[in-house]
Amino acid sequence: MEKRENFSRKRTAILNALQETDVHPTADWVYAQLKPRYPNLSLGTVYRNLKKFCENGKAVSVGVINGQEHFDGNVKPHAHFVCRECGAVLDVHETFFEENELARISQKFGLSVEEAGVMFRGVCGQCHKKGSAA
């Protein structure tokens, strides 16, 4: 029974780490944050739980950026911006698709659109300032 309880505590800790940050972490980041408190935590456990959270709607995958998948614990509809210089992932809290627009697209093209996402790519403000200062 102890093993099941530890797994539950680890799972809760992984979800909390994901939901309490806005850095859009990788599995490696979550693992590094939690390893000191959970010495027997494995990177595989982190990956498996992040995947489950995405499957059950508790998290979303932002995508692979610079070779690593990034996650977001904020599942409310919003867009993301990815900096091509530093790889930062930033939230863009704007509405780009109204629900009636998704229904219209579904009907027009004979689809069943369940969700839509927007990803912006470019240079973040900090990298832009560094480039201007050089």
Sketch the domain layout of the chain as residue ranges: 1-74, 76-134
- Report yes or no on whether pTM surpasses 0.85: no
pLDDT band at 131 (very low <50, low <70, confident <90, very high): confident
pLDDT value of position 6: 52
pLDDT value of position 95: 83
1-74 placed in CATH 1.10.10.10: yes
Q: Are the C-beta atoms of 95 and 77 separated by less than 8 Å?
A: yes
pLDDT band at 3 (very low <50, low <70, confident <90, very high): very low
Average pLDDT value for residue range 45-74: 95
Which of the 8 DSSP states describes residue 47?
H
Radius of gyration of the chain (CA): 18
Query: Between 3.30.1490.190, 3.30.420.40, 3.40.50.1820, 3.40.50.970, what CATH number should domain 76-134 receive?
Result: 3.30.1490.190
